[in-house]
Amino acid sequence: MALPIDHLFQSLRRNGVARFMEHFFSLYPDTHMKDMTVDAAGPGREIEILGRRVINFGSDSFLGLDRDERVQDAIARGLSRWGTHNGGSRAFTSVRANVEAEEKIAAWLGMEAALIYPSVTLANAGAIPGLVTRSDIIVADEYAHNSIHEGIKIAKANGSRTYTFRHNDADHLEETLKSARPYKHALITIDGVYSMSGQLPPLKDIHRIALDNDAILYVDDAHGTGVLGSHGRGTVYDNLGTYDNLFVIGSLSKAFSCLGGFIGCQADFHRLLKIRSNSYIFGGPVAPCYLEGVCTVVDILMSDEYALLKSRLDANVRHLVTGIEALDLIVLGGLTPIVSFLVGDEEATLRAGWFLFERGYYVQSVTFPAVPYHAGVIRIQVNANHEAGQIDGLLGALKQLRGHVPLPGMQRAA
C-alpha cells in the first residue's frame, strides 16, 4: 500500500521546477551536463569527468588558490589545531581563528567589522530578514542572486513589503522606491557582479538613489571578492570611494578557495547582526580549519604578490575575451573572470556545452530558468592558473563550434 510519503513524492515530481527538470533530463539525456561527478582534480585546472580529463573552465577559484600550497597547509594546520569541527553555534562560542579571520577581513576591506557566515546563501538568508522590520521595505534587482530573493521571502513572511526593479535599471529603482512610500527604512539589494552574465550594476547611480530616498544599499559582491578593486577587496569601495550607508557581502568560497561568506559592516551592526540573523544563531559555523585558510588568503591578497596573481588573471581574461570577440560572438560581461557568450536557444546551448566538453573543455551551459527563456549562454570561468595554451585550445574549439551550432554574432546583430 502506498504511504503518504509516496504520494508526496509523486506530487512533488509533477510540480514546478522538478517537473521542468525531469522533462529537461528526458529531452536532453546526453547533453544536459548537470549533476555530474568530478572523479579527480589537478594538476592545475585539469579535472576528470565521465572518464575524460578536461580543462576546467567552470570554477570560481579565480585566483587558482585552491591549488596553492600555503592555503592547503593553513587548512591542514587548522585541522590539527581545532579538529574537524567545533560543533556548536557561534551564539555560544567562536574559535579564535573565527575572530581573527573577521578582524583580518575587516582590515583588508577597510571596513569597521566583518561577520562570517557558513556561506553567502546563509548570510543572505540571515541578514536580509534581520535588517528589516514590518514597517520597512526591500527593493531587489530582479536578477539578484537567488539567495537574496530567498532571504527576501523570509522578510516578506515576517511582514516587510518587498519589490523588484528591472535589472540594472536605476531609474526604475527610483520609481519603485517613490511609489512604495511611505516606509520607515528601505533596503536595496543588488549583486556586485551578476553571476550568470558577469555584468556589473550602475553602482554610483544606485548608491546616490539610496541616499536620496532614505534607503540603505546591500551589495552581494560574491563574485567581486578577491578579483575586483585594489587588493581584491571587491567592486564597492573602488567604485564609490566610501562604505557609507552600505553592507558589503563577500564570498570565502570563490576567489578565496576556502569556505563561507561574510558581511562587511559598521562595528555596531556586527553585534546587531549576530543577534538578528537566525542562520547565524541557529546554525553552525564554517569549520575552523577553513578560517585558518581564510587568514592565509587575506595575507596573500594584502601582499605585493596580489598584483602578480591579478595580472595573470587579467591577462587570461583579456586573452579569452579578445579571442571570443574575434570569432564574432556576443560576449556578456567580460570585465570579470566570468565570461559568458550568448547562444540563445536552450537546445543549442546544451549542444554547445557538450561539443566543447567532447573536445576537452568543461564550461557551463546555462539555460532557463537561470537566465531568461531563449537567452541561454555558455559561461566560462577564467582562473589565474589557466595556461595560455589551454585558453588557445578552448578558442580553437569555439571556432569549430561555429560550424556546428547556430550562434548569434555581433555582425549579424548589428
Ligand X SMILES: Cc1ncc(COP(=O)(O)O)c(C=O)c1O
Q: Which residues bind ligand X (CB under 6 A)?
A: 119-121, 145, 147, 191, 195, 220, 222-223, 251, 253, 261
Please state, in angstroms and rounded to a whole number, the distance separating the CA atoms of residues 161 and 158.
9
Question: Minimal distance in Å, beta carbon 273 to ligand X?
Answer: 17
Question: Minimal distance in Å, beta carbon 138 to ligand X?
Answer: 16
Which of 253, 277 has the CB closer to ligand X? Answer: 253
Q: Please check whether residue 340 is in contact with residue 166, taking contact to mean a CB–CB distance below 8 angstroms.
A: no
Question: Minimal distance in Å, beta carbon 317 to ligand X?
Answer: 17
Which of 28, 62 has the CB closer to ligand X? Answer: 62
Question: Minimal distance in Å, beta carbon 252 to ligand X?
Answer: 8
Which of 59, 195 has the CB closer to ligand X? Answer: 195
Which of 86, 253 has the CB closer to ligand X? Answer: 253
Which of 149, 351 has the CB closer to ligand X? Answer: 149
Which of 33, 128 has the CB closer to ligand X? Answer: 128
Question: Minimal distance in Å, beta carbon 85 to ligand X?
Answer: 18
Grid cell in block for residue 51: 572518464
Question: Minimal distance in Å, beta carbon 241 to ligand X?
Answer: 23
Which of 108, 194 has the CB closer to ligand X? Answer: 194
Which of 323, 334 has the CB closer to ligand X? Answer: 334
* Dihedral angle of Cα 348, 352, 357, 358, to the nearest 10 degrees: 90
Question: Minimal distance in Å, beta carbon 29 to ligand X?
Answer: 27
Question: Minimal distance in Å, beta carbon 198 to ligand X?
Answer: 11
Question: Minimal distance in Å, beta carbon 345 to ligand X?
Answer: 24
Question: Minimal distance in Å, beta carbon 389 to ligand X?
Answer: 28
Q: What are the CA-CA distances from residue 173 to residues 131, 142, 164, 190, 247 (Å)? A: 19, 10, 8, 11, 18
Please state, in angstroms and rounded to a whole number, the distance separating the CA atoms of residues 76 and 195.
30
Please state, in angstroms and rounded to a whole number, the distance separating the CA atoms of residues 124 and 113.
17
Which of 251, 364 has the CB closer to ligand X? Answer: 251
Which of 195, 364 has the CB closer to ligand X? Answer: 195
Please state, in angstroms and rounded to a whole number, the distance separating the CA atoms of residues 230 and 27.
46
Which pairing describes strands 137-141 and 186-191: parallel, antiparallel, or unpaired?
Answer: parallel
**HSE-up of 241 (CA within 13 Å, CB side)?**
2
